[in-house]
Amino acid sequence: MKYIETKSCYIGPEISPEQFISEHFFLFLVKGSITGYDGNKKYELKAGDSCIVKKNRLARYHKQAYDGGMEKVAVIFDKAFLQSFQLKHQGTFSVTDNQNAFILLKRDDLINSFINSLAPYYGNNGKMDEVFSNIKREELLLILLQKDPELYNIFFDFGTPEKINLEEFMNRNYKFNVSLERFAYLTGRSLSAFKRDFKTIFQDTPSRWLVKRRLEEAYFLMEKKSKKPSDIYIDLGFEDLSHFSFAFKKKYGLVPSLLS
Every domain of the chain and the residues it spans: 8-155, 166-258
Mean pLDDT of 46-65: 93
Task: Give the long-range contacts of residues 85-93, CB within 8 A, separation 24 or more.
Answer: 85/138, 85/141, 86/156, 89/142, 91/145, 91/152, 91/156, 92/152, 93/152, 93/153, 93/155, 93/156, 93/157
In whole angstroms, what is the distance from residue 47 CA to residue 4 CA? 13
So what's the pLDDT on residue 92? 55
What counts of helices (H) and strands (E) characterise the chain?
A: 10, 10
Alpha helix stretches (DSSP H) within 203-260: 206-224, 229-232, 241-252
So what's the pLDDT on residue 218? 96
CATH fold match for the domains 8-155 and 166-258: no
So what's the pLDDT on residue 10? 86
Task: Tell me: pLDDT of 96 over 60.
Answer: no
Contact indicator for 22, 69 with CB cutoff of 8 Å: no
Would you identify the CATH topology of the domain 8-155?
Jelly Rolls (2.60.120)
Task: Tell me: pLDDT of 2 over 70.
Answer: no
Closest CA to 144 of 75, 79, 201: 75
- Bridge partners of 27, per DSSP, are 51, 74
CATH architecture of 166-258: Orthogonal Bundle (1.10)
So what's the pLDDT on residue 94? 55
- pTM for this one? 0.86
The model's confidence at residue 128, banded by pLDDT at 50, 70 and 90, is: confident
Closest CA to 219 of 257, 173, 179: 257
So what's the pLDDT on residue 97? 57
Task: Tell me: pLDDT of 62 over 50.
Answer: yes
Instruction: Quote helix, strand, coil % in the chain, to nearest 5.
Output: 45, 20, 35
In whole angstroms, what is the distance from residue 59 CA to residue 38 CA? 4
The model's confidence at residue 156, banded by pLDDT at 50, 70 and 90, is: very high
Task: Tell me: pLDDT of 66 over 80.
Answer: no
Contact indicator for 30, 50 with CB cutoff of 8 Å: no
Task: Tell me: pLDDT of 3 over 50.
Answer: no
Sequence-distant (6+) residues with CB within 8 A of 83 are 158
User: What are the strands, taking DSSP E only, across 69-149?
Assistant: 71-77, 102-105
Mean pLDDT of 24-44: 94
So what's the pLDDT on residue 166? 98
The model's confidence at residue 6, banded by pLDDT at 50, 70 and 90, is: very low
The model's confidence at residue 90, banded by pLDDT at 50, 70 and 90, is: confident
Mean pLDDT of 219-241: 94
